Amino acid sequence: MSEENPTATPASYDYAIEMQQVCTRFGDKVVHEGLDLQIRRGEIFAIVGGSGSGKSTLLREMILLHKPDSGTVKVLGIDLAGISDEQASSLRQRCGVMFQKGGLFGTLTVTENIGLPLREHSELDDGSIDEIAAWKLSLSGLKPEAGGLYPTELSGGMLKRAALARALALDPELLFLDEPTAGLDPASAGGLDALLRHLHQLYQPTIVMITHDLDLLWQVTHRVAVLGEGKVLAVGTMEELSQLQHPVIRDYFDGARG
């Protein structure tokens, strides 16, 4: 089967994500206070931090769902400030997002959900779209029969995988995962680490995930950013971070381990 992306654009960037001096507040609540972050192209990168440290907001700022009050956000080399609707649409096609709650349309089957972005952004015929959907389904670790089910008929683990399959529909250069294993029992979460590694080998997408899952953090990520106090407190490999003496990082690591 052809693996060509009908919407492929030549890549010309070193950093998949570049954030400089990002400030974000909600009323009196300061969430990001001069935050800097660089995520390299092709990297598997995780963002960790305590509850309320601004992880989800950061992700929303990367995928054009929230605009920071000030600072620069560049995604795939494109500055999101003053981006045109046309540029935004083309950027969205290059990014796949797996939302925490799945975000699938309840009135569509899994196969129809996966096919939706292809129908919207390509000229492919129904047969080809179904073929691609079947391939993404299997790539995400689901059996072909799952394609005919509706989201409400799926277990938590299957729902996450179906959401991943849809995020992969357009062969994204950049894949965002919000808590890919949260709420799953170990049996359902198991295998996602190998699956993500396999995916990365196949396409080399940049993967940005928010996760507390130590297995994913240690087994899959190249580098991790620790968020706290409105900033990125530290960035490094898990090995490097686990050596740091910074109290917030220590708390986080001890807490996450405990």
Residue numbers at the binding site for ligand ADP (CB under 6 A): 26, 29, 31, 49, 51-57
Q: Which residues contact 127 (CB under 8 A, 6 or more apart)?
A: none
Pairwise CA distance, residues 82 & 114, whole Å: 30
Q: Which lies closer to ligand ADP via its Cβ, residue 56 or residue 90?
A: 56
Smallest gap from Cβ 92 to ligand ADP, in A, equals: 21
Q: Of 56-64, 75-83, 84-92, 162-170, which part binds Mg ion (CB under 5 A)?
A: 56-64
Site for Mg ion contains 56 (CB under 5 A): yes
Smallest gap from Cβ 240 to ligand ADP, in A, equals: 22
Smallest gap from Cβ 171 to ligand ADP, in A, equals: 28
Q: Which residue is nearest to Mg ion (CB)?
A: 56
Q: Which residues contact 258 (CB under 8 A, 6 or more apart)?
A: none
Smallest gap from Cβ 198 to ligand ADP, in A, equals: 28
Smallest gap from Cβ 201 to ligand ADP, in A, equals: 29
Q: Which of 115, 145, 120 lies closest to 131 in space, CA to CA?
A: 115
Q: Which of 181, 51, 172, 170 lies closest to 122 in space, CA to CA?
A: 170
**Tokens at 63, concatenated:** 């995928």
The β-bridge relationship of strands 174-178 and 70-75 is: unpaired
Pairwise CA distance, residues 181 & 205, whole Å: 19
What is the pattern of x (binds Mg ion, CB under 5 A) and - over residues 130-169?
Answer: ----------------------------------------
Provide the binding-site residues for Mg ion, judged by CB under 5 A: 55-56
